[in-house]
Structure 1
């Protein structure tokens, strides 16, 4: 039996669908890769890169924070309030989680008995958990977080454009095939047989893109805030270093690096993300992006502390024209 969660929005809430990014959500969801890395093939390059660092962590505690069904405690999935949420802020909030809730959420993940690292006083468990999560973030996330955040921010920009052009319903349907808007009700199909309907009571609905989920995930506790975590667009290319290939005509005109950047910017991206994908330094990428923006080939928009770039109509025409010319004269991409 397929379950269903319904968020009933009033008129004000329908206009208060907001986006946010949660570092601790990403940290918690990534714990599932400890148990079944084969289910997350997109992240295998990152897992290989961080293997030595993970071997030095408190993996006993980190593994205990998920179960065989790959569920994690709800207190590790707080509702973020901004696309600029910082891990320090969320870890400080985690340190203030009440003892009763801490224990209840852990028992919900492990109903047949708590693993050894989660036994003992709430103070001791919380302290060890915070140390383990902080060490995991510092060694395995912090060096790559600008790249991860760039993909998440690019997804938010894309969703915002869809909502502006086609409406909130089209945007919600686009984030996952398990999500739809019917009138003023947002419906999310669940993998469990639960059926839940709740109003948002003026809280609005927060949409949180994630690199570590493919469908749509929602908190199902009665007191949990209205929130949907969904798989971010572009996560498939997160760890991919792309060759700077482009039609020969475009490369001859702009140079290989600028042609590669223009080709890649079919979807919004930050300079940090592009540097990782193309194997070019971030300062060099910034220089090329500014030059192409000044020439009218790109548009840019600030999103928090990052600037996201996207091909302009002129850039689209140039890429399309370069491809046609290469096909016509028989040249190959470089």
Structure 2
């Protein structure tokens, strides 16, 4: 069990961010560990042909080290809520070379290192420049095609957390983040086999929802750029495939009517009017009518993400929709 202790002021310092580099690293995990990250099968099938022969050996060696440790310098804690890939890579490129070499070496400790890793010891400047170049190329091939969906899922997660905090207090920012995480009011407890106790040491904790985090929670408890926790946003599984048709419970359909109940059940993950209409086979005007009615009843709220308005359930909507079931596509 890992414990992250909170002082009374630490809860106030919680902040959210969406990191392109965290998506790069976690997508590397999803690419290399299909058994654990089985839910990304369709994405892997699309991406692997693009990556074949793309010359990404340095990035692969750094992200897929046998110790399962990824150097901290590759995922600096973002200074802003929505950093660009260029902004984050500028931070990576400015990392002191002795630190770069030491962290890459630690990732391969006790294992024979390939040439791409040994280069960090002999020519760290050139190796780091090549790593940055390959991260850009990998992002273009593997992450950029799904970036709008990733952003929508993360924005929906942040909006949901903000709404929960407004309704139930700041502790709701940490409650129910992930099945492996337990918040007891003074510490986050992460249910993994390894153990340890950490405080935040005056650093604000950055919560970094990542669409590629999958079933895993990752912690940066001693990072030089801050403390962070990576976790999957709500409904992350729907990022990759078209929305599935959702059937509400009989009780919910009886209360709201079958169509309106289906709309509410579908909003387990934030969706736009068009996405609701497509998933449920409704005319856009009909979907908009039902969403407006649910909003007026206090069951959903609309959050603007860029130019799009996405709807998500309120706390009351969550309680009412809890018994819905999913109808699998043939």
Change in CA separation of 1:288 and 1:123 when aligned onto 2, cut-off 3 Å: farther
> SS of the counterpart of 1:218?
strand
State whether residues 296 and 314 of structure 1, in contact with CA within 8 Å, keep that contact through their aligned partners in structure 2.
no
Change in CA separation of 1:241 and 1:168 when aligned onto 2, cut-off 3 Å: same
Change in CA separation of 1:246 and 1:187 when aligned onto 2, cut-off 3 Å: closer
Change in CA separation of 1:96 and 1:304 when aligned onto 2, cut-off 3 Å: farther
The normalised TM-score by structure 2 is: 0.76
Q: Deviations over 1:255-290 (max 9, x none)?
A: x9x997665224423568x3898499xxx97x7766
Matched residue, 2:77:
79
Please give the residue correspondences for 1:62-101 in structure 2 after superposition, counting only pairs within 5 Å. Answer: 62-65=59-62, 66-101=64-99
Quote how far apart the aligned CAs of 1:294 are.
5.7
Matched residue, 1:20:
17
State whether residues 18 and 154 of structure 2, in contact with CA within 8 Å, keep that contact through their aligned partners in structure 1.
yes
Query: How many residues end up aligned between the 2 structures?
Result: 307
State whether residues 272 and 309 of structure 2, in contact with CA within 8 Å, keep that contact through their aligned partners in structure 1.
yes
Unaligned runs of 5+ residues in structure 1 are 324-334
Matched residue, 2:211:
211
Please give the residue correspondences for 1:1-334 in structure 2 after superposition, counting only pairs within 5 Å. Answer: 2=1, 4-11=2-9, 13-65=10-62, 66-112=64-110, 113-120=112-119, 121-193=123-195, 195-201=196-202, 203-213=203-213, 214-221=215-222, 223=224, 225-242=226-243, 264-270=266-272, 274=275, 278=279, 299-303=301-305, 307-310=309-312
For 2:289 and 2:81, locate their aligned partners in 1 and report how far apart those are by CA, in whole Å: 28
For 2:4 and 2:315, locate their aligned partners in 1 and report how far apart those are by CA, in whole Å: 39
The normalised TM-score by structure 1 is: 0.75
Quote how far apart the aligned CAs of 1:220 are.
3.5
CA RMSD of aligned residues (A): 3.8
For 1:93 and 1:311, locate their aligned partners in 2 and report how far apart those are by CA, in whole Å: 37
For 2:309 and 2:201, locate their aligned partners in 1 and report how far apart those are by CA, in whole Å: 32
State whether residues 5 and 190 of structure 1, in contact with CA within 8 Å, keep that contact through their aligned partners in structure 2.
no
